[in-house]
């Protein structure tokens, strides 16, 4: 089995460069949002799914999601899943320079059909309009199922996938007709996409599938295999029926008739390498055993095979060392990091986990498996309290303080330079005007000009009437020099500064 898996991985690595991968938001695929059907599912009141999630303490707890369809458009089907996957492909292309997606997302119907690989027929364009409405009007009531990646918690609220949508040809707010489709993603979905809470899907293989149960299983299998080291999973048939929203049978022959063709098609297109139906240990139910095919790999394998980035980023080597020192196996640490967002503050989380382990050490709630707790903190991207000062935050504070002091010193130096320049300019103007007065303004002429300037000062400035005579004389001389400077065409302060040699302080 190990040799076969190695050969399978080698073949996948060689072919991955030819494969188109789409990354889709995880929540909708976790809760079975899309029901396998080739028909419009109207007249259905709702669909409820119960799954297990991990609480903040790491315990598995039951959570429930209820999907409420609109009366007119019905439940979302796997045909809607096709378009949603293609839409996610377009969304990835629209990320801004900062790597973020913003509302509204604009796209043409033709571009969506091109990603789907279908013709530009009128019916296909109409289907996109219906799809937009169904995605907008369908509601999701989350009782601890929908994960908010930005807030690092499971939500209990009522949501929509698309908060709003406008199809081609509909009227925009400014009164014009829309030339493209507009989608306003709901806040939770936009937040999850921007926090890379996504799931990689082999879109080339997915588009080859014809059977709807197989299509609905693809994202679920990717989730299950991602969590399985051996690329193997087994699920109770009852649970699979609940997630897919399909009828549950009790005879193995009917079960095989119902899902066998879809599982065989998944084997044909290498989503599965094998599958079987078996009884549960108590013999009361049936379960599905499934082995991954070459189309299913971890995101770590995808990055490695596609050479999207080095095996480990430089600063991640420090994290591997820190985890090993705390009892995590090195291979486990490396595999863990390959599946985490590159911008996750890992050392902050490790240092905070250290303090939590130490704080609880002598209490009834002491953490019995510190290495396992560390892995949980990193895998869940556990938020670090704002009050916790990590070594990274401490360095940033110190760097900011040093930069502030440097900025203050630079500002003081600029201010000192300005004083020196102004003093030099005033001396220059005084020297030039003194020379002009001596050459062109005999004693009586200068006295008359100065007397006129004194009268102007006292008449135009009410406050000057209370000034001492010496102050009035000095102010009048200064104004007279400014007048002469303009008459002489002397440079302004800015022009003088630009023409002169730089200061050496």
Residues 426, 379 within the same domain: no
CA distances from 333 to 172, 303, 337, 354 (A): 51, 16, 6, 16
Query: Residue 16 half-sphere exposure, CB side, CA atoms within 13 Å?
Result: 26
User: 26 with 339: CB under 8 angstroms?
Assistant: no
Task: Judge if 223 and 314 occupy the same domain.
Answer: no
User: Are 376 and 472 in the same domain?
Assistant: no
Number of domains forming the structure of the chain:
3
Statement to judge: residues 164 and 287 lie in one domain: yes
On whether the CB atoms of residues 273 and 293 are closer than 8 A, the answer is: yes
Over 50: is that where the pLDDT of 145 sits? Answer: yes
Helices 330-338 and 316-325, interaxial angle, to 10°?
140
> Do 44 and 165 share a structural domain?
yes
What is the DSSP code string of 37-90?
Answer: -SS-B-S---EEEEEEEE-TTS-EEEEEEEEE-BTTTBB-BHHHHHHHHHHHHH
Residue 407 forms part of a structural domain: no
303 domain-assigned: no
Is residue 140 classed exposed, middle or buried when 0-12, 13-18 and 19+ CB atoms within 10 A define those classes? buried
Q: Are residues 315 and 286 in the same domain?
A: no
Q: What is the largest CA-CA distance in the chain?
A: 126
* Over residues 141-151, mean pLDDT: 64
In a domain, 302, yes or no: no
- Within a domain: 505: no
434 within domain boundaries: yes
Q: What is the mean pLDDT of residues 424-447?
A: 85
pLDDT band per the 50, 70, 90 thresholds, residue 4: very low
Given a cut of 90, whether residue 191 has pLDDT beyond it is no
Element (H, E) at 131: helix 122-137
Do residues 343 and 486 share a domain?
Answer: no
Measured in residues, the chain has a length of 505
Whether residue 484 contacts residue 430, with contact meaning beta carbons closer than 8 Å, is answered with no
Cβ of 97: how many Cβ atoms within 10 Å?
Answer: 5
Q: Distance (Å, rounded) from C-alpha 31 to C-alpha 12? A: 29
Confidence band, pLDDT 50/70/90 cuts, at residue 257: very high
Give pLDDT, residue 54.
60
Residue 403 within any structural domain of the chain:
no
Q: What's the rounded mean pLDDT across residues 119-147?
A: 81
The answer as to whether 408 is a domain residue is no
Residue 261's pLDDT band (cuts 50, 70, 90): very high
Q: What is the pLDDT of residues 215-230, one digit of tens each?
A: 888 888 888 887 665 5
Give per-residue pLDDT as tens, 73-102. 778 888 888 999 889 888 887 776 667 888
* Rg, the chain, Cα only: 36
Residues 277, 325: one domain?
Answer: no
pTM for this structure?
0.55
Closest CA relative to residue 287, chosen from 228, 246, 233: 233
Whole-number Cα distances in Å, 12 to 122, 135, 286, 478:
38, 34, 32, 86
**Of 64, 56, 60, the residue nearest 30 (C-alpha):** 64
CA–CA dist 411, 304 (Å, integer): 49
Picking from 260, 292, 324, the residue at the C-terminal end of a domain is: 292
Half-sphere exposure (CA, 13 Å, Cβ side) for 93?
Answer: 12
pLDDT at 9: 44
Q: What does the DSSP 8-state code read for residue 171? A: B
Residue that wins the pLDDT comparison between 38 and 292: 292
328 and 381 housed in the same domain: yes
Q: Find residue 225's DSSP bridge partners.
A: none
Residues 171-186: tens digit of each pLDDT: 888 888 888 889 998 8
CB atoms under 10 Å from CB of 29, counted, come to: 24
- For residues 288 and 364, membership in a common domain is answered with no
Residue that is last in its domain, among 292, 320, 349:
292
216 and 115 in one domain?
yes
Using the 3D structure, point to which of 257, 292, 327 is the last residue of a domain.
Answer: 292
For residue 284, how many other CB atoms are within 10 A of its CB? 8
Name which of 15-29, 124-138, 153-167, 341-355 the model is least confident about: 15-29
**Residue range of the domain that includes 50:** 2-292
What is the dihedral sign for C-alpha 24, 25, 31, 37?
negative
> What pLDDT score was predicted for residue 11?
43
Q: Is residue 394 part of a domain?
A: no
Rounded Cα distance between 355 and 109, Å, is 53
Element (H, E) at 419: helix 391-440
Same domain flag for 180 and 288: yes
Mean pLDDT of 486-504: 75
Strand 272-279 with 286-292, pairing: antiparallel
Neighbours of 139 (CB within 10 A): 14
**Tokens 């406050």 — which residue?**
463
Per-residue confidence (pLDDT) for residue 308, from 0 to 100? 37
Residue 483 CA to residue 480 CA, distance in Å, equals 5
Q: Once rounded to an integer, what is the mean pLDDT over residues 373-389?
A: 81
pLDDT in tens, 388-424: 888 888 888 888 888 888 887 787 788 778 878 888 8
pLDDT beyond 60 at 16:
no
CB atoms closer than 10 angstroms to residue 44: 13
Residue 8's pLDDT is 43
- Minimal CA–CA distance to 164: which of 127, 132, 201, 198? 132
Residue 254, pLDDT > 90, answer yes
The pLDDT tens digits of the residues spanning 39-48 come to 766 666 777 7
Q: What whole-number distance in Å separates Cα of residue 197 and Cα of residue 190?
A: 10
d(CA 446, CA 279): 117
Tokens 């369908």 found at: 138
Determine the pLDDT at residue 5: 41
Mean pLDDT of 276-297: 83
pLDDT average, residue stretch 294-322: 58
Nearest to 181 by CA among 251, 256, 122, 126: 126
To the nearest whole number, what is the mean pLDDT of the chain? 78
CA distances from 493 to 305, 369, 474 (A): 64, 73, 20
Q: What is the mean pLDDT of residues 189-204?
A: 82
Q: How confident is the model at residue 13 (pLDDT cuts 50, 70, 90)?
A: very low
């Amino acid at each position: 089995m190990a040799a076969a898996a190695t050969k399978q991985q080698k073949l996948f690595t060689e072919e991955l460069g030819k494969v188109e991968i789409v990354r889709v938001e995880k929540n909708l695929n976790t809760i079975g949002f899309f029901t396998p059907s080739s028909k419009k599912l109207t007249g259905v009141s709702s669909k409820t799914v119960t799954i297990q999630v991990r609480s903040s303490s790491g315990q598995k707890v039951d959570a429930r999601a209820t999907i409420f369809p609109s009366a007119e458009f019905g439940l979302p089907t796997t045909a809607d899943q096709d378009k949603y996957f293609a839409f996610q492909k377009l969304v990835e292309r629209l990320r801004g320079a900062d790597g973020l997606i913003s509302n509204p997302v604009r796209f043409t119907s033709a571009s969506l059909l091109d990603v789907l690989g279908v013709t530009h027929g009128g019916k296909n364009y109409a289907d996109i309009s219906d799809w937009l409405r169904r995605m907008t009007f369908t509601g999701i009531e989350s009782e601890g199922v929908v994960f908010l990646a930005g807030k690092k918690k499971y939500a209990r609220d009522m949501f929509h996938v698309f908060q709003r949508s406008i199809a081609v040809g509909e009227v925009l707010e400014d009164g014009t007709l829309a030339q493209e489709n507009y989608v306003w993603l709901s806040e939770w979905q936009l937040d999850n996409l921007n926090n890379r809470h996504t799931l990689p899907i082999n879109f080339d293989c997915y588009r080859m599938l014809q059977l709807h149960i197989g299509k609905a299983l693809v994202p679920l299998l990717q989730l299950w295999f991602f969590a399985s080291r051996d690329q193997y999973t087994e699920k109770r048939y009852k649970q699979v029926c609940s997630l897919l929203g399909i009828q549950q049978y009790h005879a193995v022959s009917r079960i095989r008739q119902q899902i066998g063709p879809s599982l065989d098609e998944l084997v044909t297109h290498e989503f599965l390498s094998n599958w079987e139906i078996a009884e549960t240990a108590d013999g009361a139910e049936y379960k599905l055993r499934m082995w991954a095919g070459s189309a299913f790999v971890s995101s770590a394998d995808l990055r490695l095979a596609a050479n999207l980035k080095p095996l480990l980023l430089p600063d991640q080597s420090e994290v591997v060392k820190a985890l090993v020192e705390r009892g995590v196996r090195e291979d486990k640490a490396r595999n863990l990091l390959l599946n985490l967002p590159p911008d996750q503050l890992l050392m902050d989380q490790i240092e905070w986990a250290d303090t939590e382990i130490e704080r609880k050490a002598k209490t009834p709630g002491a953490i019995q498996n510190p290495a396992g707790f560390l892995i949980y903190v990193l895998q869940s991207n556990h938020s670090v309290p704002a009050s916790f000062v990590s070594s990274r935050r401490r360095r940033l504070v110190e760097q900011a303080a040093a930069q502030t002091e440097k900025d203050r010193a630079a500002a003081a130096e600029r201010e000192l330079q300005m004083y020196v320049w102004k003093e030099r300019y005033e001396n220059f103007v005084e020297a030039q005007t003194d020379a002009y007065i001596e050459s062109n303004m005999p004693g009586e002429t200068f006295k008359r000009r100065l007397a006129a300037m004194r009268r102007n000062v006292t008449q135009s400035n009410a406050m000057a009437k209370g000034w001492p005579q010496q102050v009035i004389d000095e102010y009048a001389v200064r104004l007279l020099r400014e007048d002469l400077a303009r008459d002489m065409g002397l440079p302004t302060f800015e022009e003088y500064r630009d023409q002169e040699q730089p200061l050496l302080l």
